[in-house]
């Protein structure tokens, strides 16, 4: 069960250098060595806190020391895989196991950290980004070049940083023969996506594979830059139907292709289109229209003495505000134009709100639907801890609330604060806002800081109409506050017979 003063994180230790021990001059994994040693490392575990708060726990967690920027303590549990694997031994089955372990523990933790060897860490990270769909929590994979218990180790900082990211941040993504049954191939080509143009035998085989439905992706071996068709040796591949991998790494291209090919419900044309789309942050999509074709940016670019860096800075400074303006005014056309020209729809303003917060607050249902189709994070919390669903409740827009709920949004307001909100509505007799909270998934029997529910307040204010409404919505007349007083008992003490009769009728039902 989550503690409001703690952020609970699950750490899956699969293996790797970070937890190895030097035995006979050779680094090798040893069962329980990492778990035992971390227990006595002050940088990674506050033993006093664990002893005080988890003395009776069957499985004792670990706890990071207090952090200056947060009132929440990071408490984490570690699960060591058996056997501990060198990352070179990681297989597809291990990727699936990690995904299933996260799925099973998903509702018990605010985030997850995977400790992994560095040799194939990039492959596992890319694979999990496709295996784990619709994830709303941070999953951080890290490792180390030197075991965590050596003085020069980078493992301490990597693990601490990963735990902080997982706990506090929700940051709203083939090489084989060309003969059947191969369905996809990743080419690692030279430079900007070039291959020997004189090797017509290879080009012919590639063309045959494409004609039978094989998806072939062209990735550059270069660390920077992306695949382009400005050279004849690269255009040849484009002309026969090879798909540009843009700036995807080979690891990302391999795992993305595996993911896309697994979608049996997709037509071949859609699979090819998805390989050119950015779905997990794996590639940079270049649009035909440059960003500065938007009038305001192009005007700024004409100012004298502005260099490329300064123009880029202006885009980052102004585009989030333009997005929020478009969302607030319900201008889908402007939103789409900004998005097509490179604006990030998930960008936040100074208060941590994204465009979905703004659109929901303004009640623009069409904009909300558009943003949901674009994958904007509907669970992102602003600086007040509220997501777009809570913003829609504030404006009492039932259609926006229903739209967000149907997309899977849940209230981000913590339980005691939600109880206060419901009690405040009851004290004002504001049934419309109460109804909005309930439509958003609030529990009508949610208690405030003193244990009172909205029904307690209805009795105290002698509001018979509100009491009838709350009972019809499922309010419990026998729910005790922290002073052991129920709404029914309070009404009896106040001799409010009409209210007593109505609540007793509800009790009988």
Q: What pLDDT shows up at residue 141?
A: 94
Per the annotation, where are the binding residues for substrate?
87, 118-119
Q: What pLDDT shows up at residue 313?
A: 67
In this structure, the answer to whether residues 374 and 462 fall within a common structural domain is no
Establish if 281 belongs to a structural domain. no
Q: What pLDDT shows up at residue 229?
A: 72
Please report, rounded to a whole number, the percentage of residues in the chain having pLDDT higher than 70.
89
Q: What pLDDT shows up at residue 29?
A: 79
Per the annotation, where are the binding residues?
87, 118-119
CATH number of the domain bearing residue 244: 3.40.50.40
Q: What pLDDT shows up at residue 75?
A: 93
In this structure, the answer to whether residues 444 and 329 fall within a common structural domain is no
Q: How far apart are CA 345 and CA 370, in angstroms?
A: 11
Q: What pLDDT shows up at residue 301?
A: 43
Q: What pLDDT shows up at residue 252?
A: 92
In this structure, the answer to whether residues 358 and 446 fall within a common structural domain is no
Is the pLDDT at 328 greater than 90? The verdict is no
In this structure, the answer to whether residues 104 and 43 fall within a common structural domain is yes
Listed ranges 22-26, 33-37, 286-290, 449-453; the one with the highest mean pLDDT = 449-453
Overall domain count for the chain: 4
Q: What pLDDT shows up at residue 178?
A: 55
Establish if 438 belongs to a structural domain. yes
Please choose, from the candidates 148, 84, 143, the residue with its C-alpha nearest in 3D space to the C-alpha of residue 118: 143
Of 8-12, 42-46, 288-292, which range is least confident? 288-292
Establish if 1 belongs to a structural domain. no
Residue after which a domain boundary falls, among 140, 168, 196: 168
Q: What pLDDT shows up at residue 307?
A: 57
391 vs 223, which has greater pLDDT?
391
- How far, in Å, are 72, 85, 145, 167, 333 from residue 39 at the CA level? 20, 22, 21, 19, 56
Is the pLDDT at 140 greater than 60? The verdict is yes
Q: How far apart are CA 364 and CA 462, in angstroms?
A: 37
In this structure, the answer to whether residues 121 and 43 fall within a common structural domain is yes
In this structure, the answer to whether residues 13 and 151 fall within a common structural domain is yes
Please, which residues bridge with residue 418 across strands?
none
In this structure, the answer to whether residues 52 and 189 fall within a common structural domain is no
HSE-CB for 42 with a 13 A CA cutoff: 0
Q: What pLDDT shows up at residue 132?
A: 87
In this structure, the answer to whether residues 373 and 401 fall within a common structural domain is yes
In this structure, the answer to whether residues 141 and 262 fall within a common structural domain is no
Q: What pLDDT shows up at residue 297?
A: 52
Q: Binning pLDDT at 50, 70 and 90, where does residue 177 land?
A: low
Interval 250-284: pLDDT, tens: 999 999 999 999 999 999 989 999 998 888 888 87
In this structure, the answer to whether residues 354 and 317 fall within a common structural domain is yes
Of 65-74, 302-311, 467-476, 488-497, which range is least confident? 302-311
The reported pTM is 0.45
Q: What pLDDT shows up at residue 254?
A: 92
Establish if 283 belongs to a structural domain. no
Q: Binning pLDDT at 50, 70 and 90, where does residue 290 land?
A: very low
Is the pLDDT at 498 greater than 60? The verdict is yes
Strands 215-220 and 243-244: parallel
Establish if 175 belongs to a structural domain. no
In this structure, the answer to whether residues 482 and 425 fall within a common structural domain is yes
Catalytic residue among 37, 52, 91, 118: 118
Catalytic residue among 14, 17, 403, 453: 17
Residue 118 annotated among the catalytic residues of the structure: yes
Average pLDDT over residues 435-451: 91
The total of other beta-carbon atoms located within 10 Å of residue 10's CB is 23
Encode burial over 272-284: b for 16+ CB neighbours within 10 A, e otherwise. bebbeeeebebbe
Question: Is 182 in contact with 176 (CB distance < 8 Å)?
Answer: yes
Find the domain containing 104 and state its range. 6-168
Q: What pLDDT shows up at residue 2?
A: 60
Instruction: Spell out the long-range contacts of 312-316 with Cβ–Cβ below 8 A and sequence spacing 24 or more.
Output: 315/291, 315/342
215 vs 503, which has greater pLDDT?
215
Mean of the per-residue pLDDT values for the chain? 84
Q: What pLDDT shows up at residue 304?
A: 45
Of 53-57, 202-206, 226-230, which range is least confident? 226-230
Establish if 18 belongs to a structural domain. yes
* Exposed/middle/buried for residue 471 (C-beta within 10 Å: 0-12, 13-18, 19+): buried
In this structure, the answer to whether residues 46 and 77 fall within a common structural domain is yes
Is the pLDDT at 311 greater than 80? The verdict is no
Please choose, from the candidates 250, 290, 256, 288, the residue with its C-alpha nearest in 3D space to the C-alpha of residue 273: 256
What tokens were used for 121?
């860490």
Is the pLDDT at 45 greater than 70? The verdict is yes
Give Dmax over CA atoms of the chain in angstroms.
Answer: 98
Average pLDDT over residues 300-323: 63
Is the pLDDT at 286 greater than 70? The verdict is no
Residue after which a domain boundary falls, among 168, 197, 227: 168
Is the pLDDT at 306 greater than 80? The verdict is no
Establish if 163 belongs to a structural domain. yes
Establish if 264 belongs to a structural domain. yes
Residue after which a domain boundary falls, among 376, 406, 436: 406
Q: How far apart are CA 278 and CA 422, in angstroms?
A: 41
CATH number of the domain bearing residue 472: 1.25.40.20
Interval 387-428: pLDDT, tens: 889 889 988 888 899 999 998 988 888 888 889 999 999 999
């Amino acid at each position: 069960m989550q503690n409001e003063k703690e952020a609970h994180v699950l750490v899956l230790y699969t293996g790797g250098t970070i937890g190895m021990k030097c035995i006979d001059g050779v680094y090798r994994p040893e069962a329980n060595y990492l778990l035992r040693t971390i227990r006595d490392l002050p940088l990674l575990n506050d033993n006093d806190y664990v002893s005080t708060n988890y003395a009776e726990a069957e499985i004792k967690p670990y706890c990071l020391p207090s952090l200056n920027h947060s009132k929440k303590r990071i408490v984490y549990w570690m699960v060591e895989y058996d056997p501990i694997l060198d990352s070179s031994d990681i297989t597809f089955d291990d990727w699936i196991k990690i995904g299933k372990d996260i799925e099973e523990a998903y509702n018990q933790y605010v985030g997850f950290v995977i400790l992994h060897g560095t040799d194939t860490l990039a492959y596992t990270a890319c694979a999990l980004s496709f295996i784990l769909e619709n994830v709303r929590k941070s999953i951080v994979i890290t490792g180390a070049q030197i075991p965590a218990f050596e003085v020069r180790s980078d493992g301490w900082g990597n693990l601490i940083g990963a735990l902080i990211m997982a706990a506090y941040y929700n940051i709203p993504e083939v090489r084989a023969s060309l003969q059947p049954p191969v369905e996809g191939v990743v080419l690692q080509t030279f430079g900007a996506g070039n291959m020997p143009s004189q090797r017509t035998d290879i080009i012919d085989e590639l063309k045959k594979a494409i004609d039978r439905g094989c998806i072939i992706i062209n990735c550059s071996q270069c660390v920077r830059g992306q695949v382009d068709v400005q050279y004849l040796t690269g255009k040849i591949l484009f002309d026969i139907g090879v798909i540009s991998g843009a700036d995807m790494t080979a690891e990302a291209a391999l795992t993305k292709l595996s993911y896309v090919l697994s979608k049996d419900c997709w037509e071949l044309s859609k699979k090819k289109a998805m390989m050119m789309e950015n779905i997990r942050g794996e590639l940079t999509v270049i649009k035909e229209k440059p960003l500065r074709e938007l009038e305001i940016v192009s005007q700024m670019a004409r100012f004298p003495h502005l260099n490329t860096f300064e123009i880029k800075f202006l885009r980052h400074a102004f585009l989030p505000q333009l997005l929020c303006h478009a969302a607030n005014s319900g201008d889908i056309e402007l939103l789409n134009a900004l998005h097509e020209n490179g604006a990030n729809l998930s960008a936040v303003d100074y208060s941590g709100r994204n465009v979905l917060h703004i659109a929901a607050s303004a009640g623009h249902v069409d904009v909300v639907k558009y943003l949901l189709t674009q994958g904007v994070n509907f669970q992102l919390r602003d600086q007040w801890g509220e997501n777009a669903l809570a913003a829609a409740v504030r404006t009492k827009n039932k259609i926006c609330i229903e739209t967000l709920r149907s997309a899977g949004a849940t209230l981000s307001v913590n339980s005691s604060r939600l109880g206060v909100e419901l009690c405040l509505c009851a004290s004002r007799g504001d049934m419309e806002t109460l109804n909005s909270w309930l439509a958003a998934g609030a529990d009508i029997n949610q208690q405030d800081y003193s244990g009172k529910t909205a029904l307690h307040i209805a009795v105290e204010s002698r509001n018979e109409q509100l009491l009838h409404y709350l009972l019809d919505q499922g309010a419990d007349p026998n729910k005790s506050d922290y002073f052991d007083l129920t709404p029914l008992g309070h009404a009896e003490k106040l001799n409010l017979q009409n209210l007593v009769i109505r609540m007793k009728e509800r009790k009988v039902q």
